[in-house]
Structure 1
């Protein structure tokens, strides 16, 4: 989903009379303390019912009919996705089906319902700005991992490892071999030798990988770039990228779970 394109379409929508636009932001986050008992079901039921009661009292039969058609579609979508909820649901709909946008999102939402002439996009616009297309570059000596993130979700990952024999970077497919650490199979002397070699060559080595990272940034249309790693390594790589880096995070997180990395950066 390209949220910016969807927002552009929705901003052009304007209805008149009885055929209004329904907008819904529904918090379904199971980790939210206020959602531990499935409170979203109550919020959804009450939110949908309130509009219906108002229209029944107002006596506008055509508007009520349109709203009830939308309500059925909303309930059907929610039921069909209940077993696969993320943090929330964003939905916009009209009875004539000119507007239908419904998606489960991994972004935190405040539950809101609207029935108006235009879609209410304030919350979605803010989320689009907060969770843009981003590249997260994790660096740890001779290894680099790249995470493509968008709307607080992981869209793809790729890892690179420096071949110390050829001094070329290659895509890494298997588990780590422990080189440069004091792990099993490595002696302290080997580690010391590697560290010395790394310090002597890191500028030249990172200069070789930088074009690959810039190319990925262009192809994936990164709006933000984050470099994560120990201070000297992260700053060295940042200075070699043509694309501007928005933030350097001085933490060694290459081996962390990707969801934890996303949370560290976007909160």
Structure 2
């Protein structure tokens, strides 16, 4: 279930004591001047301690037990992910495990903690409205890389590469692409011949792939589509796709890191 559908489900949640939902938005952005010393650890500790003190005064033993279960899970998650934190962490949790959502995001949040009958989805909803399910399509001649993204995070990667001999696009698993086969002869001659052949057939070859990309957009429920690459290549691919293109970025970024791509393409 994607975040959009999950948010719809969380809207329906309403728990009675001693059951409660823990909601946490934690700013972990190292680029933030207020986070240079890892201050998120202090905010996390204080946020959890405040709830413990409140529950001790309320003297509801069952509710205290439920909070302790969640606190332990939250601290374990933060410890396991401390070395790979991005700009923020969002956690929603219940003691019985019926709700457990914990993820790191490249989008900023305002640090906030809640222990209540419902899931505090407002910030996450705003984040999703800013960066919904989106596809980033990166072209570079015979190679096309597709990033399935949501909330500033890459959910999946697909690599397509043209087999020059069969004129078919092949999909490769994983983040790394194969090398194109361009025939026999010297390397420079091969490259020149391949370039000439590719330029002569580019529109037709991109048209073949465009139908597949349209199916991706529909099946993965992309609200936005970004195409990145050389001007002529991007133009041909965009012209052959039926889906509306949100933004075109005329740069070669095929082999760049996903975080850099997202920052340059979506947030800039």
Range class of TM-score, shorter chain: 0.7 to 0.9
Indicate how the Cα distance of structure 1 residues 160 and 152 shifts in structure 2: closer, same or farther if over 3 A, else same. same
Structure 1 unpaired stretches of 5+:
none
SS at match of 1:169: strand
Q: Deviations over 1:57-114 (max 9, x none)?
A: xx5433xx4553343133211332212243333223456x486333122243321012
Q: Does 1:69 align with 2:72?
A: no
Question: Aligned partners of 2:157 and 2:42: how far apart in 1?
Answer: 38
Are 1:25 and 1:113, in contact at CA under 8 Å, matched by a contact in 2? yes
Over the residues paired in the alignment, what is the CA RMSD in angstroms? 2.9
The answer to whether the Cα contact below 8 Å between 2:15 and 2:21 also exists between their aligned partners in 1 is yes
Q: Which stretch of structure 1 is more off in the superposition, 224-233 or 153-162?
A: 153-162
**2:35 pairs with 1:38:** no
Q: Tell me if the contact between 1:26 and 1:112 (Cα under 8 Å) persists in the aligned partners.
A: yes
Aligned length: 256
CA distance in 1, matches of 2:246, 2:181: 31
1:7 Cα deviation (Å)? 1.3
Where does residue 140 of structure 2 map in the other structure?
140
C-alpha distance in 1, partners of 2:17/2:71? 24
Q: In 2, Cα distance between the equivalents of 1:36 and 1:71? A: 30
1:55 Cα deviation from its structure 2 partner: 5.5
Flag structure 2 segments of 5+ consecutive residues without an equivalent: none
**Structure 2 residue aligned with 1:185:** 187
TM, length-normalised to structure 2: 0.80
Deviations 1:175-201 (A, max 9, x none): 43596xxxx9214x952x544433332
TM norm structure 1: 0.81
Q: Whose radius of gyration is greater, 1 or 2?
A: 1
The residue matched to 1:166 in structure 2 has which SS?
coil
Residue in structure 2 matched with residue 260 of structure 1 by the alignment? 260
